[in-house]
Structure 1
Amino acid sequence: MSQDIPVLDLGPFLAGDPDALEATAAQLRRTNETVGFLYIANHGVPQELIDRTFAAAAAFHAQPIETKMELKVDAAMQGYLPMRGSTTRSSTINANNKPNENEAFFLKREDQTGVANRWPTVPGFREAATAYYDALEGLAQRILPLYARALELPADYFDEKCSRPFSSLRLSHYPPVQEYDENQFGIAPHTDSTFITLLAQNKVPGLQIRRADGVWIDAPVLEGTFIVNTGDILNRWTNGRFLSTPHRAFNISDQPRYAIPYFFHPNSETVIECLPTCRAAGEEAKFPTQTVGEYMAWFRGRNYDHIRKAAAEAEAAKAAQAAAAE
């Protein structure tokens, strides 16, 4: 068991124990104010479904690059992101990062993006990924009362704000890299954009988190748990009270590493502004008021090369039109 990352047992709360909401929320509060990462046990997601989703990710990434590129990621961040297709620029933890040594397939809620997911022809892929997405969305919504009570808010405070989550599932592949160059990572030091992130345990370790004292520590593999971390949206909502902890990933093993993180966000139109329980009288809000959609547009524009390129091309075209009109 990790001495730095606490384990939160969700069993009593999810079983409806009348005393578990407040007791579990108190543990969650302490962890999010001091660590920002935790393991959750007895979460209710079947291990068979988790295993099937890992297998689907491996099967997708085993395809030829030409086949995967037929589903190349679009402006809505749905589809295949090629190897080194992202560069972490949104965090100041590590400067001059090289492109990330991973590839990924993204899927999202179509009613939030307005764009249909495009599916590979890998047998069983769509069924596994869809079932896993639905299971993780359901779990995230079931534990919202814990976060509300951890912040001294009514238990249903976040329910309506997260009723149509602007979330995504990322099926990632980290190839073995025996020795990384300077400023090169499987994924560079960063904080997530999310309300929370749910990460299933991987048989191949590689995740590291940065403690408050600046020391990087390995996140041990605890079978049967998820790793959960606070993201930037909840950090901003709480005026920095709940930590969005930097983390990074490597794969220095001799085998491929797969990761299937689910990134849980509130509805795209939900406004993120300092919560009433997270600012003392007279204290200024530390972050600007934004909708989830506005924040995510900024985040994607910083980190994903195809979106940066499209924005630069649009700016160039706009400037050319202005020059021609003079």
Structure 2
Amino acid sequence: MNQIPSVDLRDFLSDDHSKKMQFVEQLGSAFEEIGFVAISGHFLSDKLSEDLYTQIKAFFDLPQSIKSNYEIQGLAGQRGYTSYGKEKAQNAPVGDLKEFWHFGQYEEVAPEDYLYPANITVDELPAFNSVGKEVYQQLEKTALYMLRALALHLRLEETYFDQWVSQGNSILRPIHYPPLTKAPEKAVRAAAHTDINLITLLMGAHGRGLQVQNRQGDWIEAIASKDQLMVNVGDMLSRLSNNRLLSTVHQVVNPPEAGWSESRYSIPFFMHPKATMPLNCLDNCVDDQHPQLYEDISAGDFLNERLRELGLLK
């Protein structure tokens, strides 16, 4: 496969059963073959998207002394600000050329499920906080319906994922890739990696930079139209499905020298379940031809393992 397939979530939400099941088939096939899809018909309006981009550009333009006030020690980067170059991909020799912010879950969660860190409020930009919350909730809603479609594709109850992702540990991450002042020796804006979570919904994949590695090992451009989100499988879902659904390696490459002076922004939403969700391979994804590939583990333990690998958790 040499291009990213497109689907329309309105087909799944339709009262027409044939359209709904066609969406299930299209989404499932895309996630088995390349692990990425461009989706329209989601719940995020153009205005809300534009409002968040306005706010995050204002935040990243703040003096470093102010941004650093929001980098809270002890949170492993799970809320607030993470400074330039601190995160690196698994096994990468150097940090990525980016800085970012994390919005997290807004709903109260029972202590036995998992106590999340509180969201950090930016005093200098009140609208940054309110717009971030609204975008978070609209993307969370979109992701829930996509997981319902995937549950049907995996021959599960449609609402299988609901109990695990409702009030889950999801993250909205505005990212700033600053202008380059010289040719990086080894670093790229985001080194080749897979995502940790169940699925990722990406705002702002409208220009070149994001590349996806297909099954033949070739890098292909992943570019969505203005009304689309780019959505991909994360390691948790790949693990749960015993690699039936493909967590695909992807990267954000550095621009040609002519584009060094320009910043790049993107905003992924990482759909995480509650920490207590078991990621044990599903019984209907294991058989004689597809033996179990992974040991049993909870989502919380798996996340902590990966955060240590990324250098965010000691």
Q: How does the TM-score come out when normalised to structure 2?
A: 0.90
Q: Which amino acid aligns with 2:146?
A: I
Please name the residue that 1:30 is paired with: 29
Render the CA deviation track for 1:234-286: whole Å, top value 9, x for unaligned. 00000011000000113422311111100001111111111122111485321
Q: How many residues align?
A: 301
Identity, % of aligned pairs?
28
Q: Which amino acid aligns with 2:28?
A: R
Instruction: State whether residues 207 and 223 of structure 2, in contact with CA within 8 Å, keep that contact through their aligned partners in structure 1.
Output: no
Instruction: State whether residues 176 and 251 of structure 1, in contact with CA within 8 Å, keep that contact through their aligned partners in structure 2.
Output: no
- 1:117 positional shift: 1.2
The answer to whether structure 1 residue 191 and structure 2 residue 194 are counterparts is yes
Please name the residue that 1:80 is paired with: 81
Q: Which amino acid aligns with 2:294?
A: F
Match of 1:119 among 116, 121, 124: 121
State how 1:98-113 maps to structure 2 within 5 Å. Answer: 98-109=94-105, 111=109, 112-113=114-115
Unaligned runs of 5+ in 1: 90-94, 309-326
RMSD over aligned CA atoms reads 1.9
Q: Which amino acid aligns with 2:204?
A: Q
Please name the residue that 2:243 is paired with: 240
Unaligned runs of 5+ in 2: none
C-alpha spacing 1:116/1:59, structure 2 compared with 1 (3 Å): same
Where 2:51 maps in the other structure, the secondary structure is helix
Please name the residue that 2:174 is paired with: 171
| Distance in 2 separating the partners of 1:244 and 1:162 | 19
Match of 1:275 among 266, 271, 282: 282
| Distance in 1 separating the partners of 2:206 and 2:122 | 25
| Distance in 2 separating the partners of 1:55 and 1:251 | 23
Render the CA deviation track for 1:53-74: whole Å, top value 9, x for unaligned. 1111111100011101101044
- 1:114 positional shift: 3.2
Please name the residue that 1:290 is paired with: 297
- 1:203 positional shift: 4.8
C-alpha spacing 1:167/1:85, structure 2 compared with 1 (3 Å): same
| Distance in 2 separating the partners of 1:162 and 1:96 | 30
Instruction: State whether residues 175 and 251 of structure 1, in contact with CA within 8 Å, keep that contact through their aligned partners in structure 2.
Output: no
C-alpha spacing 1:25/1:202, structure 2 compared with 1 (3 Å): closer
- 1:223 positional shift: 1.3
Render the CA deviation track for 1:283-316: whole Å, top value 9, x for unaligned. 53211111111111111111034x23xxxxxxxx
Instruction: State whether residues 8 and 28 of structure 1, in contact with CA within 8 Å, keep that contact through their aligned partners in structure 2.
Output: yes
Render the CA deviation track for 1:64-98: whole Å, top value 9, x for unaligned. 11101101044331111000011112xxxxx5432
Match of 1:303 among 307, 310, 313: 310
Bigger drift between 274-283 and 154-163 goes to: 274-283
The structure with the larger Rg is: 1
C-alpha spacing 1:42/1:183, structure 2 compared with 1 (3 Å): same
Q: Which amino acid aligns with 1:272?
A: L
Bigger drift between 207-216 and 245-254 goes to: 245-254
Match of 1:133 among 136, 158, 175: 136
Where 1:297 maps in the other structure, the secondary structure is helix
Q: Which amino acid aligns with 1:27?
A: Q
Instruction: State whether residues 197 and 231 of structure 1, in contact with CA within 8 Å, keep that contact through their aligned partners in structure 2.
Output: yes
Instruction: State whether residues 211 and 217 of structure 1, in contact with CA within 8 Å, keep that contact through their aligned partners in structure 2.
Output: yes
C-alpha spacing 1:250/1:175, structure 2 compared with 1 (3 Å): farther
- 1:202 positional shift: 4.2
The answer to whether structure 1 residue 50 and structure 2 residue 49 are counterparts is yes
Instruction: State whether residues 205 and 230 of structure 2, in contact with CA within 8 Å, keep that contact through their aligned partners in structure 1.
Output: no
Instruction: State whether residues 195 and 247 of structure 2, in contact with CA within 8 Å, keep that contact through their aligned partners in structure 1.
Output: yes
